[in-house]
Structure formats: structure tokens, C-alpha cells
Amino acid sequence: MHKLGAVLRLTRVEHSAMLAIAVLAAEQLAGGLPGIGTLVLSLIAPVLVSMASFAINDYFDIKVDKLNKKNRPLVTGELKPVQALYISAAAFTAGIAASAAINTYAFVIVVVFTALAVLYSYRLKEMLLLGNVYIALTMVIPFIFGSYVVGNTLGTGIALICAMIFASGLGREIHGSIRDFGGDTKVRNVVSLPRVIGLRGSAAVSLALYLVAIAISAYLFLFVRPFAFNTIFGAVVLASDALLLYVSLGYVRKTGKSERQRRTSARFFDRARDLSLLAMGLALLAILASAFLSFYI
């Protein structure tokens, strides 16, 4: 059980749950859930690719994670680096196989993002903003994937959801680069946004991105079915938006202090990571609830 827990932490299973929610919501919005066989495969494929991506990322990031004192299984010794490689290879292979059994669109999407996941962990994350953009895209792709499982186009609603998730995801990733600035710079020589424009400037960019995401959520609530004046969507997304504002304003405030004071803000940064993940999870649940309510009520 201890080893299983380490594997689940290595592969960030909580992120996989969010991906599954996104795929379900997209499928429902795009025309309704597919048959049970296709439905199961459509959940297995992105979940496994996500788990594999986190495993391969931790393999390449062992030194960075040690310097940043992260409680990751490869850092603590609960798992060996070679085990992370085996887990990643097996999950990538199974995920691609599952997508191939759905349709050509699903297969191509999964293969492309498998390649990008490996490239990101090996080199892409060291390039200015490209790594952040990739991670934000991984939050969007489940909606595109789910839409193409049941159809061959992206509707307006899904396109706007993708824009909202991408903006908030990119903002969250820039916050991550602020949080990991020390290790990223010293070990992997990552050319991150904080390295180019500073910590506070990066926090301001994140705030702007979160505000864009909030504006899109408001537009969805006012004008786009099935979200328009949906009280469940409005209430849950309002809570999500409030959390994002709290986190982004907190980053601006904390990074505006002296270097010594910034080091004491580590506790806030860790809490903010969890809160921003909660905010995005709430938004996904609101989207899922709206999609199903529009069909069954």
C-alpha cells in the first residue's frame, strides 16, 4: 500500500480526476456521452497520459525538486528513478492504445501530446514561457479531446471554456515558476518569466491572466448556453473566481517584499498552489454540472 501511495503521488492522480471531469463535460456539451465502451476508453487515455507525463517530469526534475525541498517520491527515495521511467512508458503506451481504439482524431491528439510531454520534461520547460504554455494546453486538451471523441468540430461554448482554462492555467504555471525560481535557475538553468521580468512583474502577468479567465466566465454566465443564468454555474464559478483573485493578489503582494521577506512567504505559496487547484476543480465541476443539467432537466 505504501508503494501504491508513492506511485499515485508520483503520477498526481488528483490531476487525472480533473482531466476525466473535463472529458465528460466536453463529450456532453458536444452532443452527449458516447457508448459505454468508447466512454471508458475516452477516460482511460487522457488519464494514463497525464499520469505518465508527471512521472517522466519527476524523473528529469529530481535535482530541482531536491533543491526546492519538495516531498516527491523520487526525492524521498520511496521510488527509484528507473521505476518512474517504467511507469511512464507503460502508461504512455496504454494511453495511446486506448485512444487508437476510439477514432483517428483521438489517436492523433494523444500521440502529439505524448511527444510534447516528453519534450517538455527533457527540454521545453527550460525555454521562456514555452513550458508554461504547454502545461496550460494540457489543461485545455481534455475538452478538445472529448469534443472530438463524439464529433469533429469545436462549438463556441467549448472554445470559450478552452480560452478560460488556458488563461487561468497559464497564470497558475507562472505562479509555479515564481515558487520554484531558486531551483529552476540553479539546477536546470530555466529561462523562466521571473528570470526575465522579475518576480513581481511575473505575478502581475499572472493576475492579468486570471482576470481574463474571470471575464470569460462572466461572459459564459451572461450569454452562452447552457451556462447563461445557470445558478449552479454562477455560484460555483463565483467561488472559483474569488479564490483565483485571492491567490493572484497574494502573489503580487508577497513578491513585492524584500528577498528575505519573500523567503518567509513559502507557506503562502504552498497554500496558494492548493487553492488555485481547488479553484480550477470547482470551475470544472460547474461546467460538468451545467452540461448535464442542460440535457436532463
13 falls in which pLDDT band (50, 70, 90)? Answer: confident
What pLDDT, on a 0 to 100 scale, did the predictor assign at position 182? Answer: 64
Query: Across the chain, what does the average pLDDT equal?
Result: 88
pLDDT of 259 strictly over 60: no
25 falls in which pLDDT band (50, 70, 90)? Answer: very high
Q: Side chain identity at 154, as an amino acid letter?
A: L
What are the boundaries of each domain within the chain?
A: 1-154, 155-297
69 falls in which pLDDT band (50, 70, 90)? Answer: low
pLDDT of 264 strictly over 60: no
Domain 1-154 CATH assignment equals 1.20.200.10: no
**Residue with more model confidence, 267 or 141:** 141
Q: What is the pLDDT of residues 150-204, one digit of tens each?
A: 988 888 899 999 999 999 999 999 998 888 776 555 555 667 888 889 889 999 9
**Residue with more model confidence, 265 or 4:** 4
Q: What is the pLDDT of residues 131-151, one digit of tens each?
A: 899 989 999 999 999 999 998
What pLDDT, on a 0 to 100 scale, did the predictor assign at position 266? Answer: 72
The most confident of the ranges 76-80, 216-220, 258-262, 267-271 is: 216-220
Measured distance CA(274)–CA(259) in Å, rounded? 23
pTM: 0.88
What pLDDT, on a 0 to 100 scale, did the predictor assign at position 145? Answer: 96
Measured distance CA(18)–CA(22) in Å, rounded? 6
* Fold (CATH) for 155-297: Four Helix Bundle (Hemerythrin (Met), subunit A) (1.20.120)
